[in-house]
Amino acid sequence: MRLHRNLCFAVIDGLHKIFNEGEYADKVIQQLLKRDKRWGSRDRSFVAETVYSIVRYQRLYAEISNVKAPYDRDNLWRIFAVWATLKGIKLPDWKYFTDTPTRKIKGRFDELSKIRKYRESIPDWMDNLGVEELGENIWTEEIAIQNEQADVILRVNTLKTTKKDLQLKLQSEDIETETLPDHPYALKLKERANVFKTEAFKNGWFEVQDASSQLVADFLDVKPGMKVVDVCAGAGGKSLHLAALMQNKGQVIAMDIYESKLKKLKIRARRNGVHNIEMKVIDSTKPIKKLYGKADRLLIDAPCSGLGVLRRNPDAKWKLQPEFIKQIKQTQTDVLQQYSKMVKSGGKMVYATCSILPSENEKQVDNFLTSENGKDFKLVKDKKILAHTSGYDGFYMALLEKK
C-alpha cells in the first residue's frame, strides 16, 4: 500500500482536532470527507478508517512513540508512523518519517500488548472500573471487541416494505445484505457502503440502527392504539420503530430536552411515513406532570456512560471521566423516579441503557423497585447484551409493570 501525501495530511488534521481541540470524531470525519471532491471511495475510506484506528489505539500508539498529549504536529506524525509500521506499510521518504525506528516500534508493541490497558488502549480508571463491575475475564473480552469496527445494521421500516423486498431493492443498487437470527427487523451489510445515497433510504424503507438497539422497542410490548411515551427520544430511532410496531395507530409522544434532536426526528418521521408521533420538548417539569398516570407504555432510554457502544464512539474513551459516570448514575435515578409516574395502572415501562455496567443497569432497577415510587412496579424480565457474546452493541433493558 502506498501512502498519498494529501490523504495523510487530512488524517493528521483530523487527529489534531480530535485529540487537541476535543472535537467529536464522527463530526471531524464528516468534514474531512468533504475536503476534496476528487477523492474516490477508496481515498475516503482510507481517511475515515485510519483516523478511527488511531483514535481507538491512541494510548498504545502514543506510548510506543513516546509522546504525551497535547500532541504537536511532529508528535502526530510519530503516532501515524507507529500506526503505519504496525500495519506493515512502507514509510515513504518524507521528512516526517526520518529516523523512524521500525524494529523498536515492533518490539515495544509486543511488550505493551501484554498489558490490557495499553493493548486495548483505555484509561487506567476505566480498566479498574470494568474489572470491578464485570470481573477480569468478562471485562477482558468485552473491551477487546469494543476496539473492532462495528457492522452496519439496517432496520426495515415495516410501514413501507418487507425485509425481503428491502433486500432485493438494495441488491439492485449493488448492496448485499444478510438476515440475523433473533432480530426480526434487521439486515446486516456484507460490505460497508454508503446506504444513505440509496433510493431505498430516500424512500424511507429503512433506518440504520444496531441490532441490539432494535430489540428495545420490541421489549416494550406495544399494541396499535396505545398511548406510548418515549421520554429520552433523541433523534428518535426507537420512536420510529415503536410507531411501525403500532402500525401508525395510537400515539407516540417523543420527548427530549434538546429541541434540535426532535427536529431531526421530524424529518426522519416524514421520510418513514410515520404520522402518529407527537414531539414535546422537556423545557420544564410541566410536560412531564401533564402525562402522570396517562401512558400505556413508557420507554426510558436513559442517558448513560455509553460503555456498550465504544466501537461506534472510540473517542468517548478519552472524553469520559469517572466524575461523569457518578453524575450520570444520579441522573438515571432521577429519571426513573420522575418519569415512571407517567405509567398508568396496568401499564408497562422499559428502562434501557447502552451501558454494560451493572451499577447503571440491574442495580438502578433494584434501587428503583425498593423506592417509594417503585413499590407499585414489578420486574417482568430483563435482558443484558454483551458485545463479545452477541457481536452487536452492549445493551441492557428491563421491562417493569405497574400493579
Name every residue whose Cβ is closer than 8 Å to that of residue 257 and which is 6 or more positions away in sequence: 281, 282, 283
Distance CA 109, CA 99 (A): 18
| Contact (Cβ atoms closer than 8 angstroms) between residue 278 and residue 251 | yes
Pairing of strands 251-256, 277-281: parallel
Name every residue whose Cβ is closer than 8 Å to that of residue 305 and which is 6 or more positions away in sequence: 320, 324, 325, 328, 355, 357, 360
Name every residue whose Cβ is closer than 8 Å to that of residue 302 and which is 6 or more positions away in sequence: 232, 331, 332, 335, 336, 351, 352, 353, 360, 364
Q: Catalytic residue among 8, 232, 304, 354, which?
A: 354
Task: Please report, as a single letter, which amino acid is at residue 95.
Answer: K
Length of the chain: 403
Name every residue whose Cβ is closer than 8 Å to that of residue 286 and which is 6 or more positions away in sequence: none
Distance CA 332, CA 319 (A): 20
- Single out the residue of 18, 21, 45, 15 nearest to residue 33, CA to CA: 45
Pairing of strands 227-230, 206-208: unpaired
Please list, residue by residue across 253-266, b when 16 or more beta carbons sit within 10 angstroms of its beta carbon and e when fewer do. bbbbeeeebbeebe
Q: What DSSP character marks residue 354?
A: S
> Using omega within 30 degrees of 0 as the cis cutoff, is the peptide bond preceding 184 cis?
no
Cross-strand partners of 383: 397
Count of CB atoms situated within 10 Å of the CB of 3: 17
Cell numbers 438494495 correspond to what residue?
170
Q: Is 143 helix (H, G, I), strand (E, B) or coil?
A: helix
| Contact (Cβ atoms closer than 8 angstroms) between residue 152 and residue 195 | yes
Distance CA 87, CA 288 (A): 53
Residue 354 is a catalytic residue: yes
Distance CA 135, CA 361 (A): 16
Residues labelled as active-site residues: 354
